[in-house]
Amino acid sequence: MTEQKKIAILGGTGALGSGLAKRWAKAGHHVIVGSRTAEKAQEAANALPVANGGPKAQGATNLDAAKQGDIVVLTVPFSNHNALLEEIKDVVEGKIVVDAVVPLVPPKVAVVQLPAEGSAGMIAHKMIGDKARVVAAFQNVGAAKLQADEPIACDILVTSDDQEARKVVIGLIQDIGMRGVDAGPIANSAAADAMTSLLIGINKRYKVDCAGIQITGLAE
């Protein structure tokens, strides 16, 4: 495992957030589950596993979780994305903020509909990038895969204008049993966001669950 981190997962009671929380808690990291209400967050935190010798997870409001975390992970729906960034922007200075939000626009979620900024990660970069070290990741892994106690044959594309922040997040991805791939600057997160809609369509057309991506030709 990499050096133990205090990881705040905002929207951590949802499917993606709780899956990441479960895996990082099992890996021995200190997880703080964030939600709109502290009670709901604490209930979710109480259900998380505790690694041998690891810290027990905590629950807090999204804002309080962001204050406490060394790493802050955004896993809320796109409709709540900008409001959450506004809420936390004054408490994340100097921190790595991992944006896992995908700009899906119902009802046509299998159709690529990127925002004018290019991606959710680019929105975060423009809103808080002068304070925080914004990284985009986890757009292409199914929440059900994270929830299951099985290995995940899926690579995670990691983009940021901060190369050192990319390395930190790649290490955290390795801790939960997947491979993080350095995919360059945050502008490239548009490709990962778009890929999510493609994968949703593939799931539907091929009647599979949680199709993912793997990058070939890399040394293990």
Instruction: Check residue 53 and give its pLDDT.
Output: 81
pLDDT at residue 155, as a whole number: 98
Fold of the domain spanning 6-206: Rossmann fold (3.40.50)
Report the predicted TM-score, pTM, of the whole model to 2 decimal places: 0.97
Amino acid 212: pLDDT: 95
H or E stretch covering 112: none
Which residues have a Cβ under 8 Å from the Cβ of 57 and sit 6 or more positions away?
A: 21, 25, 30, 31, 32, 33, 45, 46, 48, 50
SS3 52: coil
Structure confidence at residue 220 (pLDDT): 67
Integer Cα distance of 35 and 67 in angstroms: 13
Q: Within the chain, which residues score under 70 in pLDDT?
A: 220
Domain boundaries of the chain, sorted by first residue: 6-206
Take residue 77 and report the two structure tokens written for it: 């729906």
